[in-house]
Amino acid sequence: MSLPPIVVFDLDGTLADTAPDLISTLNVIMDREGLPHVPFETAREMIGAGSRALVERGFEAAGREMTPAHSDELFRLFLTIYADRLCVESRLFPHVEEALATLADRGYRLAVCTNKVELHSRRLLEGLGIAGRFAAICGRDTFPWFKPDARHLTMTIEAAGGDPNRAVMIGDSRTDIDTAKAAGIPVIAVPFGYTDTPVSELGPDIVIDDFDELAAAVERLPGHGRVVGATGIEPVTLRV
């Protein structure tokens, strides 16, 4: 029996706008360290590489150096604080639920590959009401590797029971695009997430403006999945 095609999603900035809760947690840390809050729009561009990087970037913005030991300490503190505010203001982006339902109806397996820790990812997706849609939810700590290491994506596909030769990655940042490219898997980008460079400049195969365009974009990819080495598709903004 052949494996089903699979669509793998990033979480923060792709499926959900989690910036308010992440940034409020960061600023609790900044308060405790006697540092000024990071303005929302500045902090929003710091999201995308995981909680540890977010804290380190916050300190960098404040001009404060951080030792590896201090980074470890504040990373653990961040996770503890954030656990109590995972889904206070975080919300799904428009049409996410409909897009997931459409893909599932068309036979695609669905999974999440995120640099958020797995427990937080599961709890957030449960709070947002869509956890049950995914055959696998794989976080920063699920495997020994995490994005942009290609193994985080390929092992997520394996864990979900999807066909790696018919896989597609959906993301919002350089990290997601680089991960997919390293795995030889096509990537569709959304422009409303967390990135300091427009995703259209980062070389995705397709850019969509709304999740109501997703199913058509996925099915536009040759083979609905992977082409080893390079996809050979010109990056475009799809209009449907």
Q: How confident is the model at residue 24 (pLDDT cuts 50, 70, 90)?
A: very high
Cα 148 → chain centroid: 11
CA angle 206/217/197 to nearest 5° reads: 25
Q: Is the pLDDT of residue 1 over 90?
A: no
Which pLDDT value is given to residue 226?
A: 42
**Residue of 10, 12, 172, 176 marked catalytic:** 10
Q: What are the tens digits of pLDDT across the range 204-238?
A: 999 999 999 999 999 999 876 443 333 333 443 33
In terms of C-beta density within 10 A (0-12 exposed, 13-18 middle, 19 or more buried), how is residue 63 classed? exposed
Strands (DSSP E) found in the chain: 6-9, 16-17, 91-92, 109-113, 136-138, 167-171, 187-189, 206-207, 236-237
Q: Is 10 a catalytic residue?
A: yes
What is the residue extent of each domain of the chain?
6-17+92-237, 19-82
Retrieve residue 141's tokens: 């700590």
- Mean pLDDT computed over 37-45: 91
- The CATH number of the structural domain formed by 6-17+92-237 is 3.40.50.1000
Q: What are the tens digits of pLDDT across the range 111-152?
A: 999 999 999 999 999 999 999 999 999 999 999 999 999 999
Which pLDDT value is given to residue 50?
A: 76
Q: How confident is the model at residue 47 (pLDDT cuts 50, 70, 90)?
A: confident
Retrieve residue 154's tokens: 């390929």
Q: Does pTM surpass 0.75?
A: yes
- Nearest C-alpha neighbor of 221 from the set 174, 188, 179, 173: 188
- Mean pLDDT computed over 89-114: 97
CA angle 115/119/121 to nearest 5° reads: 50
- Mean pLDDT computed over 53-61: 93
Q: What are the tens digits of pLDDT across the range 3-22?
A: 999 999 999 999 999 999 99
Cis peptide preceding 148, ω within 30 of 0: yes
In terms of C-beta density within 10 A (0-12 exposed, 13-18 middle, 19 or more buried), how is residue 233 classed? middle
Residue 167 near residue 4 (C-beta atoms within 8 A)? no
Q: Is the pLDDT of residue 100 over 90?
A: yes
State how beta strands 167-171 and 136-138 pair: unpaired
Task: Please say whether the structural domain 19-82 has been given the CATH code 1.10.150.240.
Answer: yes
Retrieve residue 151's tokens: 């193994």
Residue 237 forms beta bridges with which residues? 207
Q: How confident is the model at residue 196 (pLDDT cuts 50, 70, 90)?
A: confident
Which pLDDT value is given to residue 233?
A: 37
CA angle 228/231/233 to nearest 5° reads: 165
Q: How far, in Å, are 116, 178, 184, 234 from residue 97 at the CA level?
A: 21, 26, 27, 28
- Nearest C-alpha neighbor of 157 from the set 175, 183, 177: 183
